[in-house]
Amino acid sequence: MSRLSTPRYQTAKAQPPGNPILWKAAVNDSDVFAYSTANDQNGTFFPKGGPFGAQLWLYNPNTDQYLMVGTPETANDSNAVVFIGRASAHAEAENLSPEKRAEVIGFLEDHKGEGWKVIQVSSGESCPSCRSKQVLFAEELMGLGLIEKGDFHVVFKATYDQTRRDATFNDAPFDQTFRAIDELGVLEDGGELFDLEAAIKANPETLEQCNQGELVFNAVNFASSLDTPDSVLSLLKQAGDQPFAVVVAKDGSIMSYATDTRDLANDGQNLTEKTAIVSALYGAAAKLREGGTFESWNLEGATLYTNIRDIGPKAYAESLWYNLSSIQVVAESTSDLIDSLAEEAPGIPNRDLFGKVAADYDSAASPIQVTFMGDPDEASAAHLLWKARLQRDGILNDQVDRLRALEKAGLSKIFFTSGAALPANKVIATFESNVHYDGKQAEPDRKPA
C-alpha cells in the first residue's frame, strides 16, 4: 500500500495563483515571524506556542491585486497552544479565526463575481485539524457562491518530516489516521468510524504503523445505556435532539459538556468552534488550565461520550490531541436528526466531509489546492531555535540535580579571586521545570490489543 508509506507533501504540487516569488517570500516571512514569536520569552517558558506562523491572503488574477487579511499589526498569526492551553491552537487555525473568516466573507460579498481567490500561507504543513478548518472554510465560501472550486489555496514551507526532525513536532501520526480511513475505505459503503480500529488491526501495514507510533487514533465505540454513567444519561436526556458531547475524567467526574450552539442566521458564518464535541474538548482543557495545569490539553485518559453517530473530521481530528481513552457513542440517544444537525459543513454529511479532508492534496476530492514551497533539506529558522531552546532547558534542568549534589558535598558557594562569594545557584544557571512541550499530547496507549 504505497500511499500510506509515501510522504503526503509529495502530492502538494498545485500552482498557486499570482507571482510565485511573493508566495516564496511569504512562507519565509511566516518562518521569520514564528522565530520572532518563539524568541520573545519575557522570562517565561514559551509563552505563546510552537514555532509556526501563518498568513491569509486574497488575490485577484484579473487585476493582479494582492491583499493580506487583517492589519499590518494583525496579519501574521502564530501557534498559540501554550498561551490558550488548547492543543489545536496552531498557527493556521489561529489565522482562520472567526474574525478573519468574517472579514474574508464580507470582502468577497462586496466584490462578488470579481474572481478573487483565497490563499493561506503557513510555515509548516497543516495537521488534519487545521486542514479540516481549511476545507470547511473553502466549502463555506463555495456554498455562498463567493469562490469557485479550486480558488482556495494553501502554501506551506516545512513538511511533517522536517518539523519532526528540526523541531521535535510530529503531526504525521495524526494525519496518517486520516489517510488510513480513506485508503482502507472505512467510511465507504455504509461504513462508520466504529469500524476504524478493526480495519487498522486487519491491515498489516497500518497495524505495524500503529505499533511503531506512526499512526495515532481514537477508538470510536457504541455504548449502551447500561455501560453509560447515569450522570451522562441525564445530560443526554436534557440535550434531546441536539448534538451533544460530554468529557468524563478517569475518576468519573464530569469535566465539561456542550451542545452544538451554532446559529448561522445570527453568527453570519459557520462557527465550527461551537460544535458539540469541539466545544466540550475546549471546555475540558479550559477547566484544567484554570486549575493551573500547563498541559491542559492532556485529559489523561478521559472518555468522551456523545449522541453523534456520524462524527465529523474536525471533531475527530480535535479529539486526537487530547489523550482520550476512547469516544463512546451512546446508541439509544442517536438519531438521523442529530447527525444532520451535527454536520460540520451544513448540507454535507460528515462522512463525505471526511473524504475531502483525508484526500491527497492533488486529489479531485479535495476542495483546496496545496503547494509545498520549501526545501526538504533546509531547516526553518524557527524550528532550529525551538530545538536549541529545548536542548538548553534540558541542560538547565540537569544543573538543578548537580547543584543539589554539590550542596550535599559542602560546595554550596562559589568563591571569587576578588574575595566575593555567592550561592552556587546564583552563579550556575538552572531551570527547574517538568515542562517538555513538544506540540504533542502525552503518550497514550493507542496500540491495538
pLDDT per residue as tens digits for the range 116-146: 999 999 999 999 999 999 999 999 999 999 9
Q: How confident is residue 265, by pLDDT bands cut at 50, 70 and 90? A: confident
For residue 48, which amino acid is it? Answer: K
- Alpha-carbon separation of residue 43 from 135, 150, 327, 434 (angstroms): 38, 45, 39, 16
- pLDDT at position 49 over 90: no
> Per-residue confidence at 305, pLDDT binned at 50, 70, 90?
very high
CA 306 from chain center: how many Å? 21
Confidence (pTM): 0.91
pLDDT at 169 over 80: yes
407 exposure class (CB count in 10 Å sphere: 0-12, 13-18, 19+):
middle
Give the C-alpha separation, 326 to 309, whole Å.
14
How many residues are listed for the chain in this entry?
Answer: 449
**98 pLDDT more than 90:** yes
pLDDT at 446: 37
> Which residues are within 8 A (CB) of 380 and not within 5 positions of it... i.e. 6 or more apart?
31, 34, 51, 123, 124, 157, 158, 162, 163, 166, 167, 374
For the beta carbon of residue 22, count every other beta carbon within 10 angstroms.
17
pLDDT at residue 219, as a whole number: 95
Would you say residue 434 has pLDDT above 70?
Answer: no
Measured distance CA(423)–CA(407) in Å, rounded: 10
Alpha helices in 360-380 (DSSP H): none
Torsion angle, alpha carbons of 30, 35, 36, 42, to 10? 140
Residue 433 has a pLDDT of 57
pLDDT in tens, 183-202: 999 999 889 999 999 999 99
DSSP 323-362: TEEEEEEEGGG--HHHHHHT-SBTTB-HHHHHHHHHS-TT
Domains of the chain, residue spans: 2-372
CA distance 233 to 332: 10
| 326 phi, psi to nearest 5 deg | -175, 170
State the amino acid at position 294 in one-letter form. F
Q: Is the pLDDT of residue 387 over 50?
A: yes
Residue-wise pLDDT for 356-376, tens only, equals: 999 999 999 999 999 999 999
Give the bridge partners for 414, in sequence order.
Answer: 422
